[in-house]
Amino acid sequence: MPPAIILSTLNAKYIHASLGLRYLLANMARHGGADLRERSILREFTIARPVPEIVDSLLAELGEPVDGVPQIIGFGVYIWNVVPTTEVVRRLKQARPTLKIILGGPEVSYEWEDQEIVRLADHLITGWGDVSLPKLCRALLQGPQPLMKVIPGEQSPLAEIELPYAEFSADDLAHRLLYVEASRGCPFKCEFCLSSLDKTAWAFDQERFLAALETLYQRGARNFKFVDRTFNLKIDSSLTILQFFLDRLTPDLFLHFEVIPDHLPERLKEMIARFPPGVLQFEVGIQTFNPDVQQTISRRQDNAKTCENLAWLVNHSHAHLHTDLIFGLPGETLASFAEGFDRLYALRPHEIQLGVLKRLRGTPIARHSAAYGMIYDAEPPYTIEQTAAVDALTMQRFTRLARYWDLLANSGRFPKTLPMLLAGPSPFAAFLAFADWLWQSTGQTNRLTPESLVDALFQYLTEISGRPQESIRQTLLADYQSSGARANPVCLQGLLKDREKPMPRAARALAQRQDRHASGGQ
């Protein structure tokens, strides 16, 4: 029998398993009835899949329509998938006008009035959908028919929301990132973030949450990505969760947490220090070190404490640090950003993710547009194009620099060469000069192979920076060999003999990237 309800979304990559859809599926039974759950299925796609294929797949799942029998598809809509999802919805409604389309997700929860995808759909649930979607589906299937197109999501107590983790399949556990959350919401007010609208954070019952984690663990899950905005907000809770995993350490265990950089008390440090290499990854949102910008965007951050904590993590723990900076915030200049970058780089985090500001729908950052000359792209992901402090050409330069930084620095492929490239009073200025040269030389930010980067670095460091050819060649040789690459850069011709045969090409795991950072720092 075909399903009555399909819950679907377009993920950025296959490895991402939608936590939101699994919440919705799990709560079909609790808030809609067992029969509603039995008539519902989950179908995920990726944004790389052609739209016609997605449409054909969904229609095939539903089968031929039967008069008087409603069919429903609910879509999770996000900033990365709204464009293709809009086209999917358009084609579905053209092929089957009687199909009921329900939308939800952050991209359609705010400023939805003029969105094409909302016009095409039958219903929209703004905000939380755990309870509201089952109720809406029940009404569509059994009546009375809902009168409203736009339905504010019902935010129930967390105790009344069914946990989603049983909805992860064996294939999910084996091949995909498992997203989990010990809490929802955020008490901070950073205006570029949708979580600033939450006012506070709510924690799931810890016993219930840990029991769900235990079940996942017993099923073989070893890769957990916590989506909590403030994992270390409540230290007692953080310690309990970390102890849970310490008691279950295995060589393949991997844990990702988003942490507040200026809140790391001693008892949490002691627990973190007990984890071996390769297990913990911390995403640390710095965003900006500029106090004036922090005040403008309502971001509370003790910069001195942040630096102290980062230095401790680098020097006294095995946690892999993925730190974030955002360019284009109101009032931030290229010079002030450079100062912040240099300050962060000096602390030696494993990765510095360089982001460009995006104006997410509903975020308070919009209030600064006029005063700070903020001009954003009108199309998703609504990236800042220029500000009063940063012109459009400088923004483009930075975007290229961020791409090159990810290829050279965050990849971990050049641990010995990178310090030579960044030598001087300002690492940021040094890398910007290289990025400008690389763009002028290649005209590319994509399709740059590890080999072409090796040759570009050799040319820049010897011809532009005037470094001795042989010492640069030997440094690049050491980096290239340790990276595991197996081709032949021009500048290393004749130096790569008697190597092992190339290994079969396979998906590169996150741990490999971390290993390169770890080995490069020794």
**pLDDT score of 497:** 73
> How far is 223 from 256, CA to CA, in rounded Å?
8
**What does the chain come to in residues?**
522
Residue in this structure with the two tokens 């850069």, named with its chain if needed: 489
**pLDDT score of 199:** 82
Tokens of 317: 């723990």
Q: HSE (CB half, 13 Å, CA atoms) of 346?
A: 11
**CB proximity list for 238: less than 8 A, separation 6 or greater:** 231, 232, 268, 271
27 touches 162 (CB < 8 A): yes
Say if residue 171 is exposed, middle or buried (CB neighbours under 10 Å; 0-12, 13-18, 19+). Answer: exposed
**pLDDT score of 69:** 86
**CB proximity list for 520: less than 8 A, separation 6 or greater:** 412, 415, 416, 479, 482
Question: Which has the closest alpha carbon to 228: 197, 258, 187?
Answer: 258
One-character DSSP codes across 300-360: ---HHHHHHHHHHHHHH--PEEEEEEEE--TT--HHHHHHHHHHHHTT--SEEEEEE-B--
Question: Which has the closest alpha carbon to 132: 5, 31, 25, 7?
Answer: 31
Question: Which has the closest alpha carbon to 403: 441, 431, 374?
Answer: 431
Tokens of 503: 């290994």
How many CB atoms within 10 Å of residue 61? 15
> How far is 285 from 274, CA to CA, in rounded Å?
23
> How far is 60 from 92, CA to CA, in rounded Å?
12
SS3 call for 226: strand
CA distances from 343 to 264, 346, 357 (A): 19, 5, 20
Tokens of 194: 């949708």
Tokens of 135: 């109720």
> How far is 374 from 376, CA to CA, in rounded Å?
7
Q: Is the peptide bond before 164 cis (omega within 30 degrees of 0)?
A: no
Tokens of 94: 């053209």
Q: What is the pLDDT of residues 456-514, one digit of tens each?
A: 999 999 999 999 999 999 999 999 999 988 899 999 999 987 654 444 443 344 556 66
61 touches 2 (CB < 8 A): yes
In DSSP terms, 522 is beta-bridged to none
In DSSP terms, 351 is beta-bridged to 322
In DSSP terms, 258 is beta-bridged to 283
**pLDDT score of 264:** 94
Collect the ranges in the chain with pLDDT lower than 70. Answer: 498-522
Residue 406 phi, psi (nearest 5)? -65, -40
Q: Which domains are assigned to the chain?
A: 5-158 (3.40.50.280), 168-390 (3.80.30.20), 410-522 (no CATH)
451 touches 493 (CB < 8 A): no
62 touches 95 (CB < 8 A): no
> How far is 443 from 437, CA to CA, in rounded Å?
10
**CB proximity list for 176: less than 8 A, separation 6 or greater:** 14, 15, 16, 17
User: pTM of this prediction?
Assistant: 0.92
> How far is 324 from 322, CA to CA, in rounded Å?
7
For CA atoms 206, 208, 209, 212, the dihedral sign is positive
CA distances from 8 to 87, 181, 282, 299, 490 (A): 14, 21, 30, 35, 47
**pLDDT score of 31:** 86
> How far is 194 from 173, CA to CA, in rounded Å?
29
**pLDDT score of 507:** 38
**pLDDT score of 505:** 42
323 touches 344 (CB < 8 A): yes
